[in-house]
């Protein structure tokens, strides 16, 4: 299960082309589309051999589906080792934007964690304004931020929305941890626990506190809290462009696998995307 909204929300996938079910499926992502104010979608490619034999028709099917649904962006994900898919997607009009990795701390119960110098607590209502500001300003990684045609402010707003959703759905199994005084937190971490697995979903440190060890202390403290509540394993999904956090997690004992290449297809003349000529 990929960390994030997908465990709480689902998309209605349909065949990209009814007459060609082997080409894969596609769906509007309602949570992102509602937030951005325009349609974004995700494509799950099918048999790349069949796609390769009918590439012009496949391209037409993508464009036709996008035109019918008014989708301006369609994402596609393939395992990094799927070389045929990675070769074909650019031929179909997709552009590589990111590489994500699954991080896993398989033996959390036996891992020696560093002592955390910062006090950990669960987020309260008066923390939310400051937490939203952190979510709006702290992130630079992720597929929307790595897409040069995607508006940066909307990519920031997506993390703000993610935090609000996590805060609104907090429970014994899903918590937002923070460091810092009430009403003025320095950092937050969204954690979900299920069946002995601690899923680290979203982490951010305010800009003034970055580079001071706050993130490392936050991770260590939350993992210790998860272990105390019965978690035996920790997982996360991370962008390979986020090297500071990858190094931090590696130092805590995480190992990385399941590299996944992420591509974006952009509709021609999409009104909400950054035109190519304005990127320079």
Q: Are residues 123 and 221 in the same domain?
A: yes
Q: Are residues 18 and 73 in the same domain?
A: yes
Q: Are residues 119 and 92 in the same domain?
A: no
Q: Are residues 128 and 265 in the same domain?
A: no
Closest listed residue to residue 161, CA positions, set 17, 35, 2: 35
pLDDT per residue over 248-269, tens digit each?
Answer: 999 999 999 999 999 999 999 8
Closest listed residue to residue 143, CA positions, set 15, 241, 244: 241
Q: Are residues 87 and 195 in the same domain?
A: no
The pLDDT value recorded for residue 107 is: 92
Name every residue whose Cβ is closer than 8 Å to that of residue 213 and which is 6 or more positions away in sequence. Answer: 117
- What ranges make up the beta strands (E) of 206-277? 233-239, 255-266
Closest listed residue to residue 35, CA positions, set 194, 195, 158: 158
Burial class (CB in 10 A: 0-12, 13-18, 19+), 18: exposed
Q: Are residues 80 and 194 in the same domain?
A: no
Q: Tell me the percentage of the chain whose pLDDT exceeds 90.
A: 84
DSSP label at 274? P
Q: Supply 271's token pair.
A: 């009104």
The dihedral built from the CA positions of residue 88, 93, 96 and 101, taken in this order, carries a sign that is: negative
Q: Are residues 179 and 267 in the same domain?
A: no
Range of the domain at 49: 5-100+261-278
- Least confident residue range of 27-31, 117-121, 174-178, 207-211: 207-211
Average pLDDT of the chain is 92
Higher pLDDT, 164 or 118: 164
Name every residue whose Cβ is closer than 8 Å to that of residue 249 and which is 6 or more positions away in sequence. Answer: 103, 219, 236, 238
| DSSP calls for 139-201 | ---SHHHH-TTS-HHHHHHHHHHHHHHHHHT--SSEEEEEESSTT--SEEEEEEEETTEEEEE
pLDDT per residue over 52-98, tens digit each?
Answer: 999 999 999 999 999 999 999 999 999 999 999 999 999 999 999 99
How many C-beta atoms surround the C-beta of residue 147 within 10 A? 23
Name every residue whose Cβ is closer than 8 Å to that of residue 96 and which is 6 or more positions away in sequence. Answer: 86, 89, 90, 261, 262, 263
Strands 71-79, 39-45: parallel, antiparallel or unpaired by DSSP?
parallel
Q: Tell me the percentage of the chain whose pLDDT exceeds 70.
A: 96
**CATH number, position 39:** 3.40.630.30
In this prediction, residue 185 has a pLDDT band, given cuts at 50, 70 and 90, of very high
Question: Does pLDDT of 2 surpass 80?
Answer: no
Q: Are residues 156 and 109 in the same domain?
A: yes
Question: Does pLDDT of 140 surpass 60?
Answer: yes
Vertex 94, ends 91 and 100: CA angle to 5°? 125
Q: Are residues 30 and 155 in the same domain?
A: no
Q: Supply 90's token pair.
A: 């650019």
Question: Does pLDDT of 280 surpass 70?
Answer: no
| pTM score of the predicted model | 0.91
Pick left, alpha or beta for residue 203 (phi over 0 → left; psi -120 to 50 → alpha; otherwise beta).
beta
Q: Are residues 33 and 82 in the same domain?
A: yes
Q: Are residues 141 and 234 in the same domain?
A: yes
Question: Does pLDDT of 209 surpass 70?
Answer: yes
Q: Are residues 142 and 242 in the same domain?
A: yes
Question: Does pLDDT of 214 surpass 50?
Answer: yes
Domains: count for the chain: 2
Q: Supply 93's token pair.
A: 């009009």
């Amino acid at each position: 299960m990929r960390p994030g909204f997908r465990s709480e929300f689902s998309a209605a996938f349909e065949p990209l082309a009814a007459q060609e079910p082997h080409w894969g499926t596609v769906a509007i992502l309602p949570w992102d589309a509602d937030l951005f104010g325009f349609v974004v979608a995700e494509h799950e490619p099918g048999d790349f051999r069949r796609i390769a034999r009918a590439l012009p028709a496949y391209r037409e099917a993508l464009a036709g589906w996008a035109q019918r649904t008014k989708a301006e962006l369609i994402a596609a994900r393939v395992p990094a080792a799927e070389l045929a898919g990675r070769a074909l997607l650019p031929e179909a009009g997709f552009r590589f934007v990111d590489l994500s990795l699954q991080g896993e701390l398989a033996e959390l119960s036996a891992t020696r964690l560093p002592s955390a110098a910062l006090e950990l607590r669960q987020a309260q209502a008066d923390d939310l304004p400051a937490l939203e500001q952190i979510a709006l300003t702290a992130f630079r990684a992720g597929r929307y931020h790595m897409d040069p045609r995607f508006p940066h402010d909307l990519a920031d707003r997506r993390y703000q929305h993610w935090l609000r959703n996590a805060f609104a759905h907090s429970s014994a199994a899903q918590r937002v941890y923070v460091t810092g005084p009430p009403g003025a937190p320095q950092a937050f971490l969204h954690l979900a626990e299920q069946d002995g697995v601690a899923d680290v979903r979203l982490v951010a440190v305010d800009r003034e506190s970055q580079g001071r060890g706050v993130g490392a202390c936050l991770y260590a403290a939350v993992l210790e809290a998860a272990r105390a509540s019965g978690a035996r394993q920790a997982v996360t999904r991370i962008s390979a462009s986020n090297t500071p956090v990858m190094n931090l997690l590696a130092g805590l004992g995480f190992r990385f696998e399941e590299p996944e290449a992420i591509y974006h297809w952009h509709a021609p003349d999409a009104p909400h995307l950054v035109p190519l000529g304005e990127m320079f």
